[in-house]
Amino acid sequence: MAPWRTPSLVRLKALARRPWLAHGVLTAMAVFTLFPMFWMLTTAFTPNDLVLQRAFRFLPEDPTIANFVDAFTRQPVFAWLINSIVIAAAVTLGKLALAVPAGFAFAQLRFAGREVLFWTVIATMTFPTVIGIVPLYVGISMIGWYDTLAGVIVPSIAYIGFYVFFMRQTFRGLAPEIFEAARLDGAGPLRQFWQIAVPNILPAVASISVISFMGAWNIYLWALLVLDSPEKRMLSVGIKAFSSVDDFTPLWGPMMAVAVVSTLPVLLLFLCAQKVIMAAFTGRTDG
């Protein structure tokens, strides 16, 4: 190494150790991620006629909930909220009902075709979500599920590749000896699953429930296609109703109010379950 390079290397080393570099970059990124949400929040509480005056207004001068009242009276926002909750809860229950037993069988039971069937399920992780949208739409229309919540819920349950993979990893982490012992005691597969395996992996079930709920809360394109009546929409789709009202002028104030209503439940869920979510996303790489 050329002698002139040593000082700069030392300086680089010192620079990398300096905490202000990390703090500076990370703070800048936090401003980048938080600002659009902050702007959404402050607009939601600013009177709508002030919103349309070109001006900086970092905090609403005259905070009001008028935008929320306006949004809820113009459109069935409360029904959208209920629909979002029903869809997210039903999709989550459906995914748990499919992925937990399948994950257990792929991890702890022996049967012919196990690997092939496992990869058949896992390969669907690479399917683009909109790939089968035309046949699905035709099928849903033919069986009369167009404009019903079931039409949104049932096909959405099928995206279980990640969940089955995650549950298999989790059940694999249990010691095979406990199942061996249970088998000697005469416990069948159902008892091994329900009385031994499941009680031991409840934290993992909690993680994927939260992840699935947040994912289903955000379903957009499929709900946009299937749900037609104004009162049957979910929040993620309904918000578009505010984008061009009179003369194509978006009602920014009420729109941001609906955005806040749509974000609050998942934000609260995220804050309560932060540890559980982080563990799920990162567990498979640490463990």
Least distance from C-beta 182 to another protein, angstroms?
13
Burial class for 89, CB neighbours closer than 10 Å (0-12, 13-18, 19+): middle
Residues contacting another protein: total by CB under 8 A: 99
- Bridge partners, residue 249, by sequence: 246
Q: Nearest CA to 216 among 236, 196, 246, 193?
A: 236
* Residue 177 interacts with another protein (CB under 8 A): yes or no: no
* Residue 114 interacts with another protein (CB under 8 A): yes or no: yes
Task: Select the span of 62-70, 75-83, 187-195, 200-208 touching another protein (CB under 8 A).
Answer: 187-195
User: Of the candidates 71, 81, 152, 239, which one interacts with another protein according to CB under 8 A?
Assistant: 239
- Bridge partners, residue 246, by sequence: 249
* Residue 172 interacts with another protein (CB under 8 A): yes or no: no
* Residue 78 interacts with another protein (CB under 8 A): yes or no: no
Least distance from C-beta 272 to another protein, angstroms?
12
Please give the single-letter amino acid code of residue 90.
A
Positive or negative, the CA dihedral 125, 126, 130, 135 is negative
Residue 153: which residues within 8 A CB-CB, separation 6 or more?
A: 87, 90, 91, 94
User: Of the candidates 21, 59, 69, 143, which one interacts with another protein according to CB under 8 A?
Assistant: 21
* Residue 17 interacts with another protein (CB under 8 A): yes or no: yes
* Residue 91 interacts with another protein (CB under 8 A): yes or no: no
Q: Nearest CA to 78 among 261, 266, 222, 265?
A: 261
Name the residue nearer to another protein (CB basis): 17 or 246: 17
140-159 residues near another protein, rule: CB under 8 A: 154-155, 157-159
User: Of the candidates 90, 96, 235, 241, which one interacts with another protein according to CB under 8 A?
Assistant: 235
User: Of the candidates 126, 175, 199, 247, which one interacts with another protein according to CB under 8 A?
Assistant: 126
Per the rule left: phi > 0, alpha: psi between -120 and 50, beta: everything else, 248 is left
Helix (H) or strand (E) run with residue 89 in it: helix 77-108
Least distance from C-beta 45 to another protein, angstroms?
14
192-211 residues near another protein, rule: CB under 8 A: 193
* Residue 247 interacts with another protein (CB under 8 A): yes or no: no
Q: What angle do CA 43, 258, 277 make, to 5 degrees?
A: 100
